[in-house]
Structure 1
Amino acid sequence: MRLKDQVALITGSTSGLGEAIAKRFAHEGAKVIIVGRNQERGEAVAATIRGQGGDPMFVSADVTSEQNVKTMVDKVINRFGTIDIVVNNAGLVLPGSVIEMTLEQWNKVFQMNVTSTYLVSHHAIPLLLKQKRGSIINISSEAGLKGLKNRSAYCAAKAAIVGLTKAMAVDHSSKGIRINCICPGTIKTPMIQEIIENHEDPDGIEKEFLNRRLTPELGTPGEIAEAALYFALPENRYVTGAILSVDGGALAK
């Protein structure tokens, strides 16, 4: 077990990528904190991990609220005494060009993607500094590295996460904290599956997703979980400030 007794806090982990990361880390012996707003889904993920011999904790929290984040961190410290790994995975995508996006929608996308990453890091990093070790993994997107049609706010927010990752790495890597970023392409999560199924042209939208890549299939949550595990492993001490694209070759195309 390569993460035995490491305490890993994962936001947006009641489904999709976050759920896969939580389960993968737990399989490697980590004590995982599942964070999300849907209590039913969160408790279900925790129950699955517990049934496999893990020691999870579910915390219902809105990670765009500083008070919620403070309370969340306090609960984790009361239960486990520390935090070793943070995965900032909470996110939101709303469609629209800058003409179509309302200010309310724009702010909502930035709050869920960027502000949440800032707030969780802001309150977790002092704990990691005390230990002089730790790993923070920010989840961006291929949208943070290239332009996508009708995704103005999302592209801008995910690009901000890439820049924030690099700045955090410069500030804190010399003190033993590694900060890295994963940029997934389109991944077959329940959300993406729902988008495909509810689209007026399901075959067309799936083909559009695939046409951006070099691979014949979309990615899976498990592949992103493996990338996160690489960044989380303590022995990968030389890896910080890295931006890893797991996108089926979309950036190379």
Structure 2
Amino acid sequence: MAETSGEKNKGKPVAVVIGATSKWQADGRNTRLIHGKAVDDSVLPVGVRWGVGGAIAQKFANEGFFVVLTTRSAPNASGLMAAIKDHGGDCMIVELDVSKQESIAAAFATIRSEAGEPEIVVYNAGYLEGRDLPPEKELLEHIPVEMFDTAQHIASRGPFLVAKEILPAMRQRGTGSFFFSNNASSLRGRKRMTGQSLYYPRVMMRTLAQVLTEEYSEHGVHVANVVIDGTIDSPGTHALPRIRQNPDLVINPVKIADAFYYLHTQDRSCWTHELQLTPFPTKPSY
């Protein structure tokens, strides 16, 4: 389903953000889980209210792109859409569930019809499966297979299916960008939260980026894996006690968005294929 406010793209380059909203936005799933309710985001700059996906969407809209916001439920992105339009940008919302092949196919059929072939796609679908497990159930042996299936769909199968939708046209055109928004779990296994064993599919996302670079770079397609190594500022994370005590621990999503735009505008003679972003008070993961 698409929500376009009666307008289609009128010749602008197309940027698609897979997962344009955040589970840590004011009324997001994880915000409600951790805080027990929605939080007030009115004190936060508009650039951080929808996390990384929202910041990337706003950045590319400000740079003259027609932005496609994908989300599992259109109302989740209505505030983001309004913010983009309030600043003179153009966008549309397309519902997309990365765990379902038919949903991905239908979403990109709508995108091609109403917006055009994407010039850049950012895969920002995220998951925090296992966060609601009790600490005594943190070992792999206690994790339901259904939770693992969700993690694998989002981190591995989803980007594979999206790649099949977008790469043929990029290859034929000889230009295009496909960037993965990943995290430090793609670099090595480590115990940081309950259910950490659900995060090793992120390694497969990183490997897919490497494989696609080998296969499509020579055809003019820029593929990159962006490792966001830290807590991202957003309404839900901003309200965490440890972040309030030390705000320097969070990464500003507006600056993350700047990094994605930088990657997209790099000269093809010096493409970056992996970029790691870490806040200065912490040690980067390797």
Q: With the length of structure 1 as denominator, give the TM-score of the two structures.
A: 0.85
Q: Number of aligned pairs?
A: 235
2:67 aligned residue:
32
* 2:220 is the counterpart of 1:166: no
Distance across 1 between alignment mates of 2:283 and 2:149: 28
Counterpart position of 2:153:
111
CA RMSD of aligned residues (A): 2.3
Residue 121 of structure 2 aligns with an amino acid whose one-letter code is: V
Partner of 2:105: 70
1:13 to 20, 31, 37: 20
One-letter amino acid of the counterpart of residue 86, structure 2: G
Deviation of the 1:23 alpha carbon: 0.3
Matched, 1:250 2:283: yes
Listed as ranges, the gaps of 5+ residues in structure 1 are: 197-201
Closer, same or farther in 2 for the Cα pair 1:104/1:232, shift >3 Å?
same
Q: Matched residue of 1:238: which SS?
A: helix
Q: Does 1:188 align with 2:233?
A: yes
Partner of 1:58: 93
One-letter amino acid of the structure 2 residue matched with residue 81 of structure 1: G
For residues 161 and 185 of structure 2, what CA distance do their matches in structure 1 show?
22
Deviation at 1:37, TM superposition (A): 1.4
Q: Which segment drifts farther, 40-49 or 238-247?
A: 238-247
Structure 2 CA distance for aligned equivalents of residues 103 and 130 of structure 1: 39
1:13–1:239 Cα change, 3 Å:
farther
Post-superposition offset of 1:182: 0.6
Q: Relative contact order, CA 8 A, sep 6+: which one is greater?
A: 2
Q: Secondary structure at the match of 2:155?
A: helix
Distance 2:13 2:219 in 1: 19
Moved more, 223-232 or 163-172: 223-232
Secondary structure at 2:94 match in 1: strand
Q: Residue 82 of structure 2: SS of its match in structure 1?
A: helix
Compute the displacement of 1:27 (Å).
0.7
User: Are 2:184 and 1:152 equivalent residues in the alignment?
Assistant: no
Q: Distance in 2 between matches of 1:102 and 1:165?
A: 28
CA contact (8 A) 1:166 1:241 kept: no
Deviation of 1:131 (Å) = 1.1
Amino acid aligned to 1:116: G
Which residue of 2 is the match for residue 81 of structure 1? 116
Aligned to 1:229: 261
Q: What per-residue deviation string (whole Å, max 9, x for no partner) do you get for residues 192-242 of structure 1?
A: 346x3xxxxx44xx59xx7xxxx9432111121111111122x43135462
Aligned partner of 2:222 among 178, 194, 206: 178
2:268 counterpart letter in structure 1:
R
In structure 2, the residue corresponding to 1:13 is in which secondary structure?
Answer: coil
How far the C-alpha of 1:99 sits from its partner, in A, is: 2.4
The answer as to whether partners of 1:181 and 1:241 remain within 8 angstroms in 2 is no
1:5 Cα deviation from its structure 2 partner: 2.7
CA contact (8 A) 2:187 2:285 kept: no
The Cα shift of 1:58 comes to: 0.6
Whether the aligned pair in 2 keeps the contact of 1:230 and 1:236 (CA below 8 Å) is: no
Q: Is the partner of 2:158 in helix, strand or coil?
A: helix
Counterpart contact for 1:31–1:55, Cα < 8 Å: yes
Q: Which residue pairs with 1:41 in the alignment?
A: 76
Counterparts of 2:250 and 2:52, CA distance in 1 = 14
User: Which residue of structure 1 lines up, in the alignment, with residue 166 of structure 2?
Assistant: 124
CA 1:241/1:123 → structure 2, altered by over 3 Å: closer, same or farther?
farther
Shift of 1:97: 3.2
Is the alpha carbon distance of 1:223 and 1:53 closer, same or farther for their aligned partners in structure 2, counting shifts above 3 Å?
same
Mapped to 1, the partners of 2:223 and 2:283 lie a distance apart of 24
Identity of aligned residues (%): 24
Paired letter, 1:230: Y
Alpha-carbon contact 1:169-1:241 (below 8 Å) kept: no
